[in-house]
Structure 1
Amino acid sequence: MVVTKKNNSEKLFLGIDFGTTYSLAATVKKEEIILLLDNKKRYLLPSIVSYKNNTVSVGWDALEHVIKDPMNTITSVKRLLGRSIEFIKKEFPILPYLIEEKNGNIIFHTNTGVVTPIDVSSEILKCLKKRALFLFNQEIDASIITVPAYFDNFQKKAIKEAALLSQINLIRLLNEPTAAAIAYGLKIKKKGIIIVYDLGGGTFDISVLKLNKEIFEVLATSGNSNLGGDDFDYALANYIFKKYNIENKCNIKDTCNEFFQCSLLQIAKITKVKLTIYHKVEIQFFGWTSYITRDEFNIIIIDLVKKTLLICSQLLEEINLSVDKIEEVIMVGGSTRVPLVYQEVLNFFKKLPLSSINPDQVVAIGAAIQANMLINNSYVKNKTILLDVMPLSLGIEVMGGFVEKIISRNTSIPISKTKEFTTYKDNQTSIIIHVLQGERELVKDCISLSRFILKNIKPQKAGVTRILVTFEVDTDGLIDVKVLDKYSNQHKRIQIDSNMILQNINVAKVVQDSLVYAKKDYFFRVKTEKKMEAIHILDILNTALRDNKRLVSEEELNKIKLQKKKLEKSIDEDDFFSIKLNIKKLEDISKNFFSLQLKKTFSSFSNTNYLKRNK
């Protein structure tokens, strides 16, 4: 492949793979895939930014500072995008940087001043942008940037802000596994189910796609945005540390400085790469020489690899897909070069994975192809239509501390969906709209995205007000929420704010826990909602008895009061079956007393979602 620097009136569309360890970009010129090279013919750009003496160096130029000046050299920043300080302290407790949280944002203190993960990411994107100028002597007209399928809304918005800061015209975010499938799609020429196993430096994704007549439909995605080759490095570094027996060979104080830690980690990275080729690798560390074998390395990382396969197994079970129905398995990401990973994936899916396209390049290539399909179809003979999905369900909080899902996980996007709610108490004039993302039934087990109040609602009887909540999700998976009171025409519209503080919740764990606790959560919700129904009915009954008890005889009134006490006792005892039975008995005994409106309340309550009141 020969690329010359020249003036070009042809528009330039890039596919950018913003990676944890390396980043790269590609484009399509006259149906030829072109990887953007630097002046030394390198297509990979280390995702490293160094800040020193009011200068910023990126990529290969910054690589040498990782060990020399770790405090001011940011690596693997992709893992920190959209994260809270609590998450970082828990997952990465020994980072060498000076980090704090300010106004909901993570900031690094460097020699050149304060920077955020978004600032660091933008420097990497700017460097890729310069490559386009160097090769083609023209600015980028539009770009697609790939993200892990399991990036949540905060992480996606952080990428968009980094692109904006880099002055890159971003037309779409594209899931990395989907991009890989597009790259292979023109070669596969098959119909059927395709699995994309994507293990990169910092993230793992598994996607299930269906290819039919050049339509890629994403059926389901799962993964872990905090699991990848970096974890192999940390595990190997820890093993070398123990094997080296540092306490007996040098001053223990040396083990605590950033230089020592980064040197050890760098040796682990180099050793890991060599072990993908050789079965035995020599390591030298502070005058100590030893060997690490591939068998040792496999033992060290096997549990991490098994974690990825557990996620695969859970996803297949969730969508009821058997392994023998899968046509192809595509391997993506630099960490799939590890022989153990390849072998375990082969064993799990029982077929040889595809790896003919360089796993480092395949995502950028797919993004470049998709960019041309969206904007410049004249260069693509066969246009592939892409149908992507929501990685996590979206919903709002309802009475009882539960989540009412509006858009379910693995729904195709873009999507717009509306659901109707009502009020729980008479004469409510405001309600809380609490937007959540996750799979569990309880609010406390999901990710809080936004919370706001809809005011000046027309005061009416409970259940009369009609509140329409609409979620719109675009092709980037970004969320727009609209709330409308049909009677008073009060409305509010928000977009999820990426500067809000993320709760310390691992997104991938939300899905995993939803499978583990699905039965327990369901039973708890049904039981609690029935209890709420009983309390609501008693509230209505007490009001009716206070105002209209003379409508019935003393004998009938005593029967109603007796049954009312039985229901109250069932609630106190938290007896689900007794509550159901006593609600039915109370309804039967009160037929002559209740009005048609009350009978309607009995029948409709269980199907009505009551929004949380603003106290």
Structure 2
Amino acid sequence: MMFVNVHKNKKLILGIDLGTTYSLAAVVEKDRVILLSDSKKRYLLPSIVNFNKNKISVGWSAQSKEVQDPLNTISSVKRFIGRSFQFIKRNFPILPYKIIQNESGGVYFYTDAGYISPVDVFSHILNKLKKRAYFYSNQKIDAAIITVPAYFNNNQRLETKKAAFLSNINLVRLLNEPTAAALAYGLETGKHGVVVVYDLGGGTFDISILKLNKGVFEVLATGGDSHLGGDDFDFDLSKYIHEKLIECNSKDYYFSQSLLLEIAKKTKIKLTKNKKVEVNFLNWKGHITRDEFNLIIENKVKRTLSICSKLMKEIDLNITNVEEVILVGGSTRIPLIHEQVSMFFKKNPLTSIDPEKVVAIGAALHANMLFGKQSKNKTLLLDVIPISLGIEVMGGFMEKIILRNTLIPISKTKEFTTFKDGQTTILIHILQGEKELVKDCVSLSRFVLKNISSKKAGIVRILVTFEIDTDGLISIKASEKLSNREKKIQIDQFDFFKKNTS
């Protein structure tokens, strides 16, 4: 690693890609993006933490313990951030480590070091990246931009901010990962026109459509699935291998499961370059071909393209109007994905910037845009809210106030009224989602506006105002026209677990 002399008055602002499988950090030094590495010149940091009773290991040292100590080694935590216990049990029934439900319906990992939350795991990964920054510059970081999946909901974004707070990181912005990738290509290569970012990582899939023109990066629309990624390919491949086993003698379920997942991951990576891979698991030896693997993941790849198709129809965009397609995320190295994306968009995707590094590069460039003194990269970034917001109304329905893919920051007010005579309080239930029924949406918060005027039903007017900042985080104000009663909240509580399993 090269050391540089950083002037005392120079701010050190990190761009951080907090990933499901790997995390990275980058800075801009003299108009050049520098990816921060460890003492062994490794840029990637495995997003894995081992919680031994006497020592906590992060990254590469923790990765080596996934098989030997699976119960205390937490990986892919990004899939659990902001999720309820019921959601995790429903969507991830087989895990190599133990989880328990916490007092609010969320999840704890049960380890030798005690009960660990997903936010705790995130904070340890962030602290490890901070050490790389100090190793690089011999100074503490002043602030950071952290990227998140475009389709992260408000609760997932809040828990990411909470992890930054626990790590003593001054977080200046949450930046959507596909937007960061588009920034990297737009600023580094001068791309312009309508650009599609296909982002398939270890745990999430995002599709973002942007328009790049003369220093303006406008997000036209974004969509995705925040629990679809390379981890699902690993799990499906591990099940396929397990089905081919004649007999498994191991009685240690957690050891066998973690070992099988590790073998599946390695097999997947090898199949990127090889058409046939030998697999050895306990007392079984066999081969997995690329054709077999393609059949295993085919439906999930089709799901990603279906999401792309729906999003393009939503904004009335024809494939012929797409100038470039950018591939982001380690899972896009899989030949089938490259092939299917090329066929769908009828053009060869851009991969000139490493798909695993491009998000961190974009985050660092955006940090430099915000804090750098040079004028040549001054740009305007216009982002959107990925998921619609609204409140519960009579009948268990959600009424949307701000629709998905609306430009942010934004403030919007809608008027409601009471539903019975003499009503002096009103419950405001904030929701996020695209479905019509409350039960199918994510509950963000509930609060009560008290002491409103006692009138006949339909006379009292309640104004509900949503404000969304550049991070996509939400503030709510409810007020009554007659009495001037009002209540404001910043949605920073996680009571959504209590009644929602999404």
Summarize the Cα distance change of 1:504–1:93 in structure 2 as closer, same or farther, 3 Å threshold: farther
Aligned to 2:16: 16
AA matched with 1:337:
R
Corresponding residue for residue 2 of structure 2: 3
3-state DSSP of counterpart to 2:365: helix
Task: Give the percent of matched residue pairs that are identical in Structure 1 and Structure 2.
Answer: 62
- Name the CA distance, whole Å, in 2 between partners of 1:45 and 1:20: 11
Deviations 1:387-417 (A, max 9, x none): 1101111111222332222111110111111
Residue 90 of structure 2 aligns to which amino acid in structure 1?
Answer: K
Which structure features the higher share of helix residues?
Answer: 1
Give me the whole-angstrom Cα distance separating, in 2, the residues matched to 1:451 and 1:391. Answer: 21
Partner SS for 2:323: strand
Give RMSD over aligned pairs: 1.5
What secondary structure sits across from 1:300 in the alignment? helix
Gaps of 5+ in 1: 507-615
Secondary structure of 1:66's aligned partner: coil
Query: Does the 8 Å contact 2:83/2:501 carry over to 1?
Result: no
Verify the 8 A CA contact 1:316 1:322 in the aligned structure 2.
Answer: yes
Looking at structure 1, the residues matched to 454 and 371 of structure 2 have their Cα atoms a distance apart, in angstroms, of: 50
Question: Larger C-alpha radius of gyration, 1 or 2?
Answer: 1
2:389/2:400 contact within 8 Å kept? yes
Alignment-derived partner of residue 218 in structure 1: 219
Which residue is equivalent to 1:349?
345
Distance 1:256 1:60 in 2: 24
Q: Distance in 2 between matches of 1:31 and 1:380?
A: 11
What SS does the aligned partner of 1:436 have? strand
Q: SS of the residue aligned with 2:15?
A: strand
TM-score normalised to structure 2 length: 0.96
**Other-structure match for 1:426:** 421
Q: Answer whether contact 2:199 2:328 (CA < 8 A) is retained.
A: yes
Aligned to 2:449: 454
Whether 2:291 is the aligned partner of 1:295: answer yes
User: Which residue of structure 1 lines up, in the alignment, with residue 187 of structure 2?
Assistant: 186
Q: 1:316 and 1:430, CA in 2 relative to 1: closer, same or farther beyond 3 A?
A: same
Post-superposition offset of 1:497: 3.4
- Rounded to whole Å, the distance in 1 between the matches of 2:191 and 2:332 is 23
- 1:308 corresponds to which residue? 304
Q: Where does residue 261 of structure 1 map in the other structure?
A: 257
Aligned-pair CA distance for 1:505: 5.1
Runs of 5+ in structure 2 lacking a partner? none
Aligned residue identity for 2:426: I
Q: How does 1:56-455 map to 2 (within 5 A)?
A: 56-104=56-104, 105-246=106-247, 250-251=248-249, 254=250, 257-376=253-372, 378-379=373-374, 381-455=376-450
Once the two structures are superposed, residues 3-53 of structure 1 have per-residue CA deviations (whole angstroms, 9 ceiling, x without a partner) of 225454221111000000000000101100000010110000000000113
Match of 1:212, as an amino acid? N
Amino acid at match of 2:349: P
Distance 1:7 1:209, change over 3 A: closer
Q: Would you say 1:487 and 2:482 are equivalent positions?
A: yes
Local SS of the residue matching 1:68? coil
Give yes or no for contact 2:70–2:97 (8 Å, CA) kept in 1.
yes
What is the SS of the residue equivalent to 1:238? helix
1:210-254: CA deviations, max 9, x gaps? Answer: 1122111111111001000011111111111112223xxx43xx2
Distance 1:420 1:169, change over 3 A: same
Deviation at 1:468, TM superposition (A): 1.1
* Distance across 2 between alignment mates of 1:270 and 1:177: 26
Residue 49 of structure 1 pairs with residue 45 of structure 2:
no
Change beyond 3 A, Cα 1:370–1:117: same
Task: Judge conservation of contact 1:158–1:498 (CA < 8 Å) in 2.
Answer: no
Contact 1:194–1:327 (CA under 8 A) maintained in structure 2: yes
CA contact (8 A) 1:179 1:367 kept: yes
CA displacement at 1:443 relative to structure 2: 2.0
CA deviations 1:72-113 (Å, max 9, x no partner) are: 000000001011110111111121323212222321221112
| Per-residue deviation, 1:177 | 0.3
SS at match of 1:259: helix
CA–CA distance in structure 1, aligned partners of residues 304 and 127 of structure 2: 33
| Structure-2 change in CA distance of 1:368 and 1:339 (3 Å) | same
Q: CA deviation at 1:428?
A: 2.0
> How far, CA to CA, are the matches of 2:252 and 2:488 in structure 1?
50
* Distance in 2 separating the partners of 1:6 and 1:496: 41
Q: TM-score, normalised by structure 1?
A: 0.79
Q: CA deviation at 1:372?
A: 1.1
Q: Distance in 1 between matches of 2:69 and 2:470?
A: 40
What is the DSSP-based 3-state SS (H/G/I as helix, E as strand, rest coil) of the residue aligned with 1:208?
Answer: strand
Once structures 1 and 2 are overlaid, which stretch shifts more, 35-44 or 96-105?
Answer: 96-105
CA contact (8 A) 2:445 2:496 kept: no
Conservation of the 8 A alpha-carbon contact between 1:8 and 1:136: no
